[in-house]
């Protein structure tokens, strides 16, 4: 662990009651969902983690509790240190407070997580789909979403596949 | 021999209207800038100095669909982009042709999933499919020449 992280992580663990996992040089802190905004605020203001370099989510589908982990990757420019946060969430109607007020670039990241996983962010200013069309149904990156592939056309079934393809009217 | 030798004393040439109109259409076909993804790079390099497309009449690429005849769909079309593609195709005035450049525009390419349209012929009628991932500029020019031959073979009763 980096020296700076070695000084920061015990303080965080003690103050907010988090768990810390370390693998090689990476540190991941498990944050319970209600505390995410204050943890991020503290990290940005006191500990100088000023860049949210990535925010994404993971679906551990057959496991329902927790089903999702929302992963934040923070970076401190002045100390050149990276820190990961993970928020475990339940399966049905998962929702979490937004960190858009803390890191403005979370706006699009959270829109993408809403689009792909269906995790609502309370307090988000503009939560709508960003990658799929606006009226799409379903959340594609969940593990129980179908792959959506079309049947591959080889020469022996070319005509059958062709008949089923949608064609424009003119 | 130049065209002067054929004109005789009166300076008159006779040819079929089909031939004249088709010749005019092929020799000044302006493509629309529709580079969506990686195939756009090959389309750009086909237009640039080394593999010049202006030799074949495509001197410039118009960004506006109202001023172009040919839509080269270069790249993968996502489900979100599909209505936009159709609208731009509808905004092109007749006569218009479509070249599906690359594998993603022809058949979905390597992307066989929910987000990519499996072949742009689900949306617009395509005249020529150019295969390749991406097709070399020479392959695109070959496809354009095939389209020119197709246009030269058009009959007068197909126009109306």
Q: Model ipTM? A: 0.78
Which residues of B are less than 8 Å from A166 in CB distance?
122
* Residue of chain A whose Cα is closest to the Cα of B119: A165
SS3 A153: coil
SS3 B99: strand
Cβ of A148 within 8 Å of Cβ of B113? The answer is: yes
pLDDT band at B88 (very low <50, low <70, confident <90, very high): very high
Yes or no: say if B132 and A158 are a contact pair by the CB < 8 Å rule.
no
Taking an 8 Å cut-off on Cβ atoms, the answer to whether B115 and A140 are in contact is: yes
Stretch A152-170: mean pLDDT, rounded? 83
Angstrom distances, CA of residue A129 to CA of A94, A112, A132, A140, B133? 16, 7, 6, 11, 30
Which residue of chain A has the CA closest to B123?
A: A168
Please indicate whether residue A63 or residue B118 has the higher confidence score (pLDDT). B118
Q: Which residues of A touch B86 (CB under 8 A)?
A: 168
Structure tokens at A25: 């040089």
Q: Which residue has the higher pLDDT, A150 or B4?
A: A150
Q: How confident is the model at residue B154 (pLDDT cuts 50, 70, 90)?
A: confident
Residues of B in contact with A165 (CB under 8 A): 118-119, 122
Percent pLDDT > 70 in chain A is 99
Residues B5, A104: Cα–Cα separation, whole Å: 74
Domains identified in chain A and CATH numbers: 3-164 (3.30.460.80)
The Cα–Cα gap between A30 and A88 comes to 8
Stretch A46-51: mean pLDDT: 90
Mutate which: B77, B94, B115, B120, vs A, most A CBs within 10 A: B115
Considering only CB atoms, B118 lies closest to which of A146, A150, A170, namely A150
Q: Which of A103, A104, A100, A132 is nearest to A118 (CA)?
A: A132
**Cβ contact A167–B121 (<8 Å):** yes
Beta strand A120-122 with B31-32 is unpaired
CA distances (Å), B29 to each of A117, A120, B101, B147, in order? 46, 50, 16, 10
Q: Against a cut of 0.95, is the pTM above it? A: no
């Amino acid at each position: 662990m980096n020296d700076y992280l070695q000084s920061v992580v015990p303080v965080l663990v003690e103050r907010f009651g988090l768990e810390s996992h370390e693998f090689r040089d990476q540190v991941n802190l498990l944050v319970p969902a209600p505390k995410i905004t204050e943890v991020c605020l503290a990290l940005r203001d006191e500990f100088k983690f000023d860049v949210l370099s990535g925010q994404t989510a993971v679906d551990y589908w057959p496991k329902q509790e927790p089903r999702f982990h929302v992963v934040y990757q923070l970076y401190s420019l002045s100390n050149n240190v990276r820190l990961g946060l993970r928020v475990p969430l339940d399966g049905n109607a998962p929702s979490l407070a937004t960190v858009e007020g803390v890191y403005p670039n979370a706006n699009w990241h959270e829109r993408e997580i809403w689009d792909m996983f269906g995790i609502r962010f309370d307090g988000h200013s503009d939560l709508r789909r960003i990658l799929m069309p606006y009226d799409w149904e379903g959340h594609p990156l969940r593990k129980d979403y179908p792959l959506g592939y079309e049947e591959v056309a080889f020469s022996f079934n070319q005509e059958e596949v062709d008949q089923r393809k949608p064609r424009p009217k003119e | 021999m130049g065209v002067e030798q054929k004109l005789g004393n009166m300076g008159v040439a006779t040819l079929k209207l089909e031939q004249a109109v088709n010749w005019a259409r092929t020799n000044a076909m302006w493509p629309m800038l529709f580079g969506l993804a990686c195939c756009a790079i090959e389309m750009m390099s086909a237009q640039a100095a080394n593999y010049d497309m202006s030799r074949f009449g495509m001197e410039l690429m118009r960004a506006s669909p109202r001023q172009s005849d040919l839509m080269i769909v270069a790249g993968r079309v996502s489900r979100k982009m599909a209505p936009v593609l159709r609208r731009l195709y509808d905004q092109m005035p007749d006569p218009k042709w479509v070249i599906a450049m690359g594998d993603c525009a022809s058949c979905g390419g390597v992307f066989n999933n929910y987000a990519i349209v499996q072949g742009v012929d689900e949306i617009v009628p395509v005249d020529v499919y150019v295969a390749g991932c991406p097709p070399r500029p020479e392959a695109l020019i070959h496809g354009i020449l095939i389209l020119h031959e197709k246009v030269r073979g058009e009959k007068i009763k197909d126009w109306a």
